[in-house]
Structure 1
Amino acid sequence: MKHLFQNQENKLDEVLFQGRNKAYGAYVLRNEADSILTKSMFIGIGAFVLFALVPIVSNYFADAPITVVEPPHGPIVLDNVDQSEETPQVVQPVVPPQVKVNTLDSRVPDPTRDAKNEKVMPKQTDYDHAVAGTQDVVGESPVSNYVPPAIDAPVVTTPDVPNAKPVDNTPKTAVDVSAEFIGGINAFRNKVVSNFDTSAMDGSGEVVKTTVTFIVEKDGTISEVKASGPNAIFNREAEKTIRSVRGKWTPAKLDGENVRSYFKFPISMQLE
């Protein structure tokens, strides 16, 4: 067991440096490495402890500052304040003169059965020259002294606007672009024929004619539908059919703007 307590590293160094110079160089450094590391560790610990103890020791031996409070120079003398001998004047409040004001009894009586003297409540116009109260008093009409505050409103100057052109909303008979049913006039004619109800008229084999005049508005709707023909029943059914047609129109144009315009639509049918 003796060989376990021997320094194996030193034994290896003896083998490596056998027959070589052992006075200096690597052999000396390897043998003294442990002692050098141990000394360095203790020196570092000592330096750390020294730096830590320096502020503690300096605070312990430092003298506490002494604050010297100097007494005030001489006694403090308070002078008496002279009291005014004049008594203040007592201002009497100004009591405005009592003026009787027209007052109307505005109390609502309690409802009772078989009232002997039924009270008539004052009208709203009666309060124009009187105020509401608990009894009727004859006097002067109430006067309101309220003056509205003056408000300095900024002066706003409106620029001169040229006279606007008056809007002419009358239906036109002469236009640059005529009104047209969206989908074409043939589509409109087919809808009129398919929606026309001839059951209310007697079929005599003759051809019945009428001309329906209406106004195409600026938004594409129609208004003021009127049929002119010799048969009143046929005219009435033609107006009803024109109003029932679904769809809108492209309004007429005059000088590049949409305008109201007249449109004439002839209808002829042979009733059998």
Structure 2
Amino acid sequence: MKHLEHNQDFRLNEILFEHRNKAYGAYALRTESDRILTKAFFIGVGLLAAVSIIPVAISAFKSTETVIIQDPTPPIMIDVDKPNDPPAEVLPPQTVTPPPPSVRQYDSQVVTPTRNANENDIVEDIPDDAIAGVKNDFTAPPTPQINVPPTVISGPGTVAPPKIAPVAPVEDPNKIVEGTELSKSADFEGGINAFRTKVMNKFDVSAFEMEDVVSTKLTFIVEKDGTISNIKANGKDASFNAEAIRTIKAVKGKWIPGKNKRGESVRSYFSFPISMKFDN
């Protein structure tokens, strides 16, 4: 049957390519299609079988390695010829700190064993409230009693507020005290009349030629150390004012500073009027 089909295809190809170039590739492909398909089928089956067999062959030829895990801990060596360990060293008994004298105690010291030990000194009946000590003392003196006065708890009452001492204001040391803040005004050593006499003796009247009364009022600050500063004159005649200021500076002597209410020396103002009449 297959042979008949092949012959029919062959005749069909002959009819189809009649009077045509049979060397053309399509004619060869249609003629040899069955043979090419069969060959391709067997080649594909062979490649598939080779791919499946290669892993099995590799695993068969691969050598199996045996892993040996070594124990890092060395074996315990027992020396049968070595003598037994010497007995442990016996430590001497530790010193026991004696308790206070008002507490019962018993002798807890370890006695060195001897051949002629006196067993009568061994105490078996130890009170429960006795503590370890250096001797057997079961009759402790009574503990002195401390009388603590009972705390009186009163009901809610008025709690007095704490007393806060007033903070004294810090006074400026350069403050100029005047008026009612002074308990004593500044004064010249020897009195104000002695100062006035010195001013009159120092005043230069030769530069003035007028027949009238000239006056001015001098103000200055008396410092804490008795010196004067910031001298000013408020008269109408500028020449008279200048001569008055020069005279005040030329007067030798020291001032007694003013006092505040606490009796401390302070800076204060002092006023000194000068009035003169020139007769030419």
Larger Rg: 2
TM-score range relative to shorter protein: 0.3 to 0.5
Q: TM-score, normalised by structure 2?
A: 0.38
